Amino acid sequence: MANVSTAYTLGASCVNATRPAAVVILAAGEGTRMKSDLPKVLHPIGGHALVSHAIRAARSTGAPFVAVVVRHQRDRVVEHCRSLDPDLLFADQDDIMGTGRAVECGLAALPEDLEGPVLVTSGDVPLLTGETLVEVTRRHVESGSDITLVTARVPKPFGYGRVVRDNNGSVTAIVEEKDATDEERAITEINSGIYVFDAALLRSALGKVTTDNAQGEKYLTDVVKVAKAEGRSVQAHVLDDLWQTEGVNDRVQLATLGRVLNQRTCERHMRAGVTIVDPATTWIDVDVTIGRDTTILPGTQLLGATSVGAGCEIGPEVTLRDTVVKDRASVTRAVANLAVIGEEATVGPYSYLRPNTVLGARGKIGGFVETKNADIGEGAKVPHLTYCGDATIGEGANIGAGTIFANYDGVKKHHSTIGKHSFVGSDSVIVSPVTVADGAYVAAGSALTQDVLPGQMAIARGVQRNIDGWVEKARPGTKTAEAARAAASQTGPPHTRSSNREGDDAQ
């Protein structure tokens, strides 16, 4: 708040026709119909809270001030908004209810002598774009209006404020559903709750608005009547794109708008050269980037700050969150979170990449492999049934099926390194911390606890003993004993004799 007056001087000195002097975002309502402990405006679609969509649209107008009006769970809402944008202003609404009071409180957070167009939007109208806000402001300024309402003609106007026009078609009032006559209820042009007001008019008109209505609230919409009575000009900007005016009141609308937003996001990527085989089952958050000629197969979710390169194949059934996939990589039936997948690398099916997995170019993470804090070098392969946590795997190394990096001793995590072009045999346990040098081998089935030097082969397992005659002695009369006898009669007795013939401990 301390630097508000400086910012204001700056803002006022560069008046710009398409730029509002301020935007007020209403987000104080309780959102009772969500039936949620989470404030309505913090419910997400497309990877962002509803109010974040409103803040982004508001910010993209270039307005020098953006104020968010809060009340219900104000600390939670403020904390979230501030984490996105530390320059936001916050206004606390008091015990007087209604959108009019909310805007009055919003104005109080703005410089007292603010002049010019003030945009008012809602924290729960997530599909409204910054371009629309800029366009409405431009129209407002160019037409010299005192108030510009964004309206829409909808087939089912129930619940919305209706736009009342006179015989000349001029807007005279907005009537709320609960206060409307039958005749007014039949009007299909609705108030979207998005407006541009002349700042001075808004301030003075709100002072004259009362709470004398069906809900006992101070309605912002009554400003229209007050302005008309004073001979001020009110125009409506009818928006054809109805979704941009839709608000979220319950979880059904949250899902509907989430799907529409997703459809729009998918279309944007398809127009930019991405093949999306089935947009209906592909979910892409708004900030995700995807390169040309990448194909997204059904059942895929690309979330958060994920970025996918060009010429990749992602899916089916892949969930990537905050993950980077470089060009021409392929990822199938996998989950990755905070991971990096290198150029031409392959992942899946059934792989789980946890935070800080970095897979090098042309590397492979295969079926039933889980990785975490794992740096897997260029061309290195972890193809089957492995847990690879807290490990560095050198370029071109191969980790055999069923290898487990035992990184946790019950108290601390430890790190292991497998050198370049080294080879870990199947079913090995790498008991961290251990270092296998470049160009070394680990025999299958090893439980490795010591370092291995370049060129060495490490064997860390019990030596095999074969006990002659064990089956005959311990399992007489079984089919196994019969098979052993039949085989021995054809091939003769075993060539290899075990050194220990007792065999009583070999159960």
- Encoding tokens for residue 472? 């005959």
Angle at 72 between CA 69 and CA 76, to 5 degrees: 85
So which residues are the catalytic ones?
384
Instruction: Give yes or no for residue 23 binding ligand UD1 (CB under 6 A).
Output: no
Of 274, 276, 360, the residue nearest 309 (C-alpha): 274
- Encoding tokens for residue 285? 């958050």
- Encoding tokens for residue 130? 């910054």
Query: CB atoms < 10 A from the CB of 442, how many?
Result: 25
**Complex with ligand UD1: residue 216 or 455, whichever CB lies closer:** 216
CB of 124 to Ca ion, least distance (A): 6
Cis preceding linkage at 316, omega within 30: yes
Contact partner, 52, from Ca ion, ligand UD1, none, Cβ < 5-8 Å per class? none
Residue 490's contacts (CB-CB under 8 Å, 6 or more residues apart) are none
3-state secondary structure of 222: helix
CB of 286 to Ca ion, least distance (A): 22
Q: Which of residues 448-487 bind Ca ion (CB under 5 A)?
A: none
Rg (CA), the chain: 34
Q: Which of residues 219-248 bind Ca ion (CB under 5 A)?
A: 247
**Complex with ligand UD1: residue 250 or 395, whichever CB lies closer:** 250
Side-chain-side CA neighbours of residue 172 (13 Å): 7
**Complex with ligand UD1: residue 72 or 461, whichever CB lies closer:** 72
Q: Which of residues 237-296 bind ligand UD1 (CB under 6 A)?
A: 247
Of 165, 164, 21, the residue nearest 89 (C-alpha): 21
Q: What is the DSSP letter of 146?
A: S
CB of 96 to ligand UD1, least distance (A): 8
CB of 23 to ligand UD1, least distance (A): 13
Total site size for Ca ion, rule CB under 5 A? 1
Are 294 and 312 contacting, i.e. CB atoms less than 8 angstroms apart? yes
CB of 110 to Ca ion, least distance (A): 23
CB of 217 to ligand UD1, least distance (A): 6
CB of 202 to Ca ion, least distance (A): 20
* Interstrand relation of 404-406 and 429-431 (parallel, antiparallel or unpaired): parallel
Lay out the site mask for ligand UD1 across 291-330 (x = CB under 6 A, - = otherwise). ----------------------------------------
| Closest CB to Ca ion: residue number | 247
* Interstrand relation of 330-331 and 313-314 (parallel, antiparallel or unpaired): parallel
Q: At 185, phi and psi to the nearest 5?
A: -65, -25
Q: Which of residues 152-211 bind ligand UD1 (CB under 6 A)?
A: 160-161, 174, 176, 190-193
- Answer for which of 66, 127, 128, 220 binds ligand UD1 (CB under 6 A) is 220
Which residue in this structure is represented by tokens 């794992």? 374
Q: What is the DSSP letter of 88?
A: -
**Complex with ligand UD1: residue 159 or 494, whichever CB lies closer:** 159
**Complex with ligand UD1: residue 42 or 369, whichever CB lies closer:** 42
String of DSSP letters for 8-76: HHHHHHT--TTS-SEEEEE-----GGG--SS-GGG-EETTEEHHHHHHHHHHTTT-SEEEEEE-TTHHH
Are 219 and 146 contacting, i.e. CB atoms less than 8 angstroms apart? no
Which residue in this structure is represented by tokens 């311990």? 474
Lay out the site mask for Ca ion across 244-283 (x = CB under 5 A, - = otherwise). ---x------------------------------------
- Answer for which of 21, 22, 26, 205 binds ligand UD1 (CB under 6 A) is 26
**Complex with Ca ion: residue 161 or 425, whichever CB lies closer:** 161
**Complex with ligand UD1: residue 161 or 279, whichever CB lies closer:** 161
CA distances 253 to 260, 331, 497, Å, are 10, 33, 76
d(CA 127, CA 189): 19
Contact partner, 174, from ligand UD1, Ca ion, none, Cβ < 5-8 Å per class? ligand UD1
Q: What is the DSSP letter of 3?
A: T
Q: Which of residues 375-404 bind ligand UD1 (CB under 6 A)?
A: none
3-state secondary structure of 165: strand
Are 376 and 393 contacting, i.e. CB atoms less than 8 angstroms apart? yes
Strand partners, 506: none
CB of 392 to ligand UD1, least distance (A): 50
Only one of the segments 179-187, 213-221, 300-308, 389-397 lies at the binding site for ligand UD1 (rule: CB under 6 A); that segment is: 213-221
**Complex with Ca ion: residue 64 or 247, whichever CB lies closer:** 247
**Complex with Ca ion: residue 152 or 458, whichever CB lies closer:** 152
Only one of the segments 3-11, 59-67, 91-99, 132-140 lies at the binding site for ligand UD1 (rule: CB under 6 A); that segment is: 91-99
Lay out the site mask for ligand UD1 across 44-83 (x = CB under 6 A, - = otherwise). -------------------------x--------------
Of 393, 351, 345, the residue nearest 369 (C-alpha): 351
Lay out the site mask for ligand UD1 across 92-131 (x = CB under 6 A, - = otherwise). -x---xxx-xx-------------------xxx-------
Q: What does the binding site for Ca ion look like in residue numbers (CB under 5 A)?
A: 247
Q: What does the binding site for ligand UD1 look like in residue numbers (CB under 6 A)?
A: 26-29, 69, 93, 97-99, 101-102, 122-124, 160-161, 174, 176, 190-193, 219-221, 247
